[in-house]
Amino acid sequence: MAKVSFEDSMKRLEDVVGRLEGEEVSLEESLKLFEQGVKLMRFCHLRLSEVEEKVQILVADEKEGGRLEEFKE
């Protein structure tokens, strides 16, 4: 399974929101789009949290003289 990028997920999320806001979609389709949007939002939030953690590690390491630890994906 190919790894999905943050940028691709954000683009897909923008597309979902645009469809929900702009198009006439059925209740069933709206629910499917909403579910897809929630999954994309959770993925993006998780990825941002991981990146934030890595940045905090790097900044803290810089203050301690540059010690670098392996980041768990």
Q: What is the pLDDT along the chain (73 residues), one digit of tens a residue?
A: 468 899 999 999 999 999 999 978 999 999 999 999 999 999 999 999 999 888 888 887 666 665 555 656 5
State the pLDDT at residue 67. Answer: 56
State the pLDDT at residue 73. Answer: 58
State the pLDDT at residue 68. Answer: 55
Q: What is the dihedral of CA 15, 45, 4, 55, to 10 degrees?
A: 130
Which pTM was predicted?
0.74
Q: Is 70 helix (H, G, I), strand (E, B) or coil?
A: coil
Residue 15: Cβ-neighbour burial (10 angstroms; 0-12, 13-18, 19+): middle
Residue 21 and residue 13: Cα distance in Å, rounded?
A: 12
What structural domains does the chain harbor?
6-63 (1.10.287)
State the pLDDT at residue 72. Answer: 62
